[in-house]
Amino acid sequence: MFISYEKKEEWPALAWLAKCKAGSDEIRVFAGEGVEAARDWCCEAVWDGGYADGAFDLTDIVAGTGIRLRDGVVAFVSSGSTVDRLVVVTIGDATFVSNSLCCLLSHLDSKPLVTYPNYHRDFHSIVSGLKQYRRQIPSACGNVTLVYFDNLSWDGRSLSITEKPNKDRQFGSFADYYDFLVGSMARISANASNSARMHPFSIVSTLSSGYDSATVAALARKAGCARAISFVDSRSGDGDSGEDVARQLGIELTLFSRNDYKRFPESEAFIYSGEGEGEESFLGALTGELSRKVLLTGFHGDKVWEKNTKLLSDEIVRGDATGLSLTEWRLREQFIHCPVPFWSCRSIKSIEKISRSEEMAPWDLRNDYNRPICRRILEQEGVPREAFGIKKRATARTFYESAEVLTPENSKSYGDWIRKHRTVWIRQGEIPPTMALDRAAYLFYTGRAKSMRFLMRLAGNLPVLWRAQNWLRSLHRKYIIENAPPSKYKRHIVNWAIEKVVMHYR
């Protein structure tokens, strides 16, 4: 068996697609100009090992994706997180595997189904873990299989799922886990900057005033990272830059505003095509800033590093889908997304046990926002206790943050797309999505949210009823914040976005 390559200069630089034909020894790979290629492997990845060995198939500490031929079997390697994925479709005797849904559909001269209402729901289902997510989504060329975290093996005739190694890594103490994180970071950094690469990468961290990204920045600094990026404002409008943390760590901090993304409308469709809600659309502000970078983030730290977490499954159950919206955009921007808390996250029970251990008591604040491991890492680097992790803030965008979710240019493009396909809905006996109905849904949602907040404040000021505050708060989170269904207009933004990016490939 052998790999043949065809460069596609017009594609996003880190996109690739492989065609495997049953009974053929050839694996034909089409790849953007930024994909590293050797005789027996190709990748757009970094991992915790030597670059020349190309052993990204033998570890679970890997960011990005790749293809590895070993002993007559081809491994398609997915990222060691659930913020990236592989996509697969079989047509006749040919199986196609890619790191991009849009690339796959474009190559097959296909597109998403215009009226399918659940792409957003299907992508977000990965939050439920590796056993519970929706594995197939429909398209014009048939069902497409989504593969997160696991690898795929091709034996010349069929494709099978292969579990990543090192599932049962255990840590007996904080020192064990800390040494693992520091060592992995050093190896990732060395791999990324290896001079044997066609295009070496440098590492850059995100940084905020919260726990997770600040912890990642502290670990990255020990591996030589000298730069971090941050946003001066959070969703609530509060400051969230982490400037005090950066100053103590000796990291150069580049600041952006959450609204700076509006200057780069060309990035918006790529971001929405990843998961449908564009939660990281504010990162569009970094357009042109991340080329040949490994972007270190703290996604999933809210579960892995939180002392009071209840999600202790080794199936990687998450609290939200943050980070997933970067999966298509990063291929265009030429960066690798590396969310550090996913490193050995299948050993979450072992990590949680450390958080609850007696040795961590000096760093245990015993409140609702409590991550002793993060606090110890940062405080032992000299960051003052009051400089971080005091209040939970969020920068991710949601459908209901504002009435307008797209920039004016893309709002017009989306409206034109709806009008172009209006008859498809009508033939199915449905009303096409409309901005007017969306505004009504938005006002209904905000009205419910305001009413619930009023009830919480009222309960807090009345005798006896103040005890109901926590119950009302849980209802508010469950039925309004987390499970508020997107309107029909917002649900189909992802259909438009995928089709727009598909055309970009062509």
Is 400 within 8 Å of 479 (Cβ atoms)? no
pLDDT at 307 over 50: yes
What's the pLDDT at 402? 64
Q: How many helices (H) and strands (E) does the chain have?
A: 16, 18
If you search the block for the tokens 């907040």, which residue do you land on?
Answer: 453
If you search the block for the tokens 């994909």, which residue do you land on?
Answer: 35
- Considering the four listed CATH numbers 3.30.70, 3.30.1450, 1.10.1760, 3.40.50, the one that applies to the domain covering 174-387 is 3.40.50
pLDDT tens figures, 404-445: 789 999 999 999 999 999 999 999 999 888 876 666 665 655
What's the pLDDT at 297? 98
pLDDT tens figures, 357-372: 999 999 999 988 999 9
Between the alpha carbon of residue 34 and those of residues 30, 197, 213, 482, the distances in Å are: 12, 10, 27, 38
C-alpha 171/C-alpha 185 separation (Å) is: 17
pLDDT tens figures, 220-276: 999 999 999 999 876 555 666 789 999 999 999 999 988 899 999 999 999 999 999
Question: How does residue 484 score in pLDDT terms, banded at 50, 70 and 90?
Answer: low
Secondary structure (DSSP) of 123-141 = HHGGGG-TTTS--EE--TT
